[in-house]
Structure 1
Amino acid sequence: MSRGDPDFDPEAPEQSEIGREMVDQSTGLGSVAAHLYRGEVERVTTWRGRLDETTNWAVTVMAAILVYAFSSDGTSHAILLVGMLVMVVFLGIEARRYQGYDVWRSRARLLQENLFANALDPSGGVERPRWRAELSEDYRNPSIKMPYSEALGRRLRRVYVPLLTIMLVSWLFRIAAYHPGQTWRQAAALPGIPGPVVVGVVVLCVGLATGLAIWPRERRAKGEVSERNYGEWKERR
């Protein structure tokens, strides 16, 4: 199976459908692939835990900021703007970790759909005839498969849109309810920064986040469970 072996054809049935051999007879490659899959799943679980840690920290910090912001009338609404900025920082960290998580998940999915699915039902064949060559190349030259913009959009839709929405609504309530007798321009102002400028920056940031979350793009994440995938599966059933 070396790169320079002229006899290796990754699209040949005996090469791509080793899952069938795992059921019909015991093969050394099948045994190695099983241990390999166990290791890949463990790495997927580890990286998933890192994602959850970032989300937990984001929620904890958000809760602390909300408690402090509404603890007294004299607290500046700027603390909520700082909280939004902190959420954006956590989003950037989590998107980077999501790219790493996708590396291991894509390998696990490649084994699932081409090796184990073929072992359970050989009549279905394999999804990718060159899957062994693709996996081999990925081990020789590992690389990030998901663009950073897609990772940002995914984590925004799944986690950070709700968190940022809570912070935004809290900020609007803070400047509307805690400054009686003032206009929104006066209530939103910060030392040295007029209220319209503050509101304009917030609206711009919200628009950018919304556009990034809903902008249509080609999906590169492999094997992710979604409502669309589940609907397609039900139709096939």
Structure 2
Amino acid sequence: MGAIAHLYRGEVYRSTIWRTRLDTTTNWSVVTLGVALSITYSSPQASPLPLVLVGILIIFFLMQEARRYRYFNVWRARCRWMELHFFAPMLREGDLHLEDCWQDRLANDYLHPVYHVSMWTAIGRRIRRNYFWILLIQTVAYLGKLIVHPTPLETVGQLLERAAIGPLPGWLVLTIGALYCLSWGIIAILSEKSDIRRAKTRRDPLGMG
């Protein structure tokens, strides 16, 4: 009993630490986007390029956060597994139901540790939880800059002219931006469908992973 209690406390500590790391990368994304917004909207003549370049940093932070989420999900799953099969039965009826072999599954997870979700699933979950709003603000701010600065937009030709970056024509830059947003949306939708399928086929709705 004492060993399990200490084990559970250790897993809670690890999940808390990695949860804090998830929040850190989200904060980095928000801060860098805020800096890009400040630079871009500092004057009507300021370039919208910082809002484009910050997308590279957002991708980097998203990848890093997805990797951290895969670690966090392991510790979270172990905590939930012990709560579900050890603490709850002990508190309710005093019977740990070892005949269900839940302890073997936990032991195997310690003997052969693996990620419980794929990288794509982790990316999709982080987009749905946080990065959808970050990407939405980035997109709206970029389009808003093109529409209102340096003067209110009058023709589509002006939009394409303002969107141009060096030798890259405006239509190409806007197309790349649309693919950038669309790709993250597709990943989020596909990962959500994958989560739904996993939930339906899982033996235990509150099981490991």
TM-score by length of 2: 0.86
1:101 aligns with 2:78: no
Question: What is the Cα deviation at residue 130 of structure 1?
Answer: 2.2
Counterpart CA distance in 1 for 2:180 and 2:28 is 22
Choose 52-61 or 100-109, whichever is displaced more. Answer: 52-61
1:118 aligns with 2:95: no
The residue number in structure 1 matching 2:202 is none
Gaps of 5+ in 1: 1-29, 222-228, 230-237
Conserved 8 A contact 1:114-1:128:
no
Cα RMSD (Å)? 2.1
The residue number in structure 2 matching 1:149 is 120
Counterpart CA distance in 2 for 1:122 and 1:149 is 40
The residue number in structure 1 matching 2:166 is 191
After TM superposition, the structure 1 = structure 2 runs for residues 66-215 of structure 1, keeping only pairs within 5 Å, are 66-122=37-93, 129-180=100-151, 183-215=158-190
Given the superposition, is the C-alpha separation of residues 126 and 204 from structure 1 closer, same or farther in structure 2, using an over 3 Å criterion? farther
Counterpart CA distance in 2 for 1:69 and 1:120 is 58
Conserved 8 A contact 1:175-1:184:
yes
Question: What is the Cα deviation at residue 126 of structure 1?
Answer: 5.6
Q: Secondary structure at the match of 2:100?
A: coil
Name which one, 1 or 2, has greater alpha-carbon Rg.
Answer: 1
Counterpart CA distance in 2 for 1:64 and 1:127 is 55
Choose 196-205 or 129-138, whichever is displaced more. Answer: 129-138
Given the superposition, is the C-alpha separation of residues 210 and 127 from structure 1 closer, same or farther in structure 2, using an over 3 Å criterion? farther
Counterpart CA distance in 1 for 2:61 and 2:18 is 16
Given the superposition, is the C-alpha separation of residues 106 and 191 from structure 1 closer, same or farther in structure 2, using an over 3 Å criterion? same
Gaps of 5+ in 2: 200-205
Q: CA offsets, 1:113-166, max 9 Å, x none?
A: 000011111289769922111111111121111111110011001110001100
Q: Secondary structure at the match of 1:218?
A: helix
Matched residue count: 193
Counterpart CA distance in 2 for 1:218 and 1:168 is 27
1:218 aligns with 2:189: no
1:49 aligns with 2:31: no
Choose 95-104 or 176-185, whichever is displaced more. Answer: 176-185
Counterpart CA distance in 1 for 2:97 and 2:150 is 65
Counterpart CA distance in 2 for 1:43 and 1:55 is 19
Conserved 8 A contact 1:179-1:187:
no
Q: Secondary structure at the match of 2:195?
A: coil
Question: What is the Cα deviation at residue 95 of structure 1?
Answer: 0.4
TM-score by length of 1: 0.76
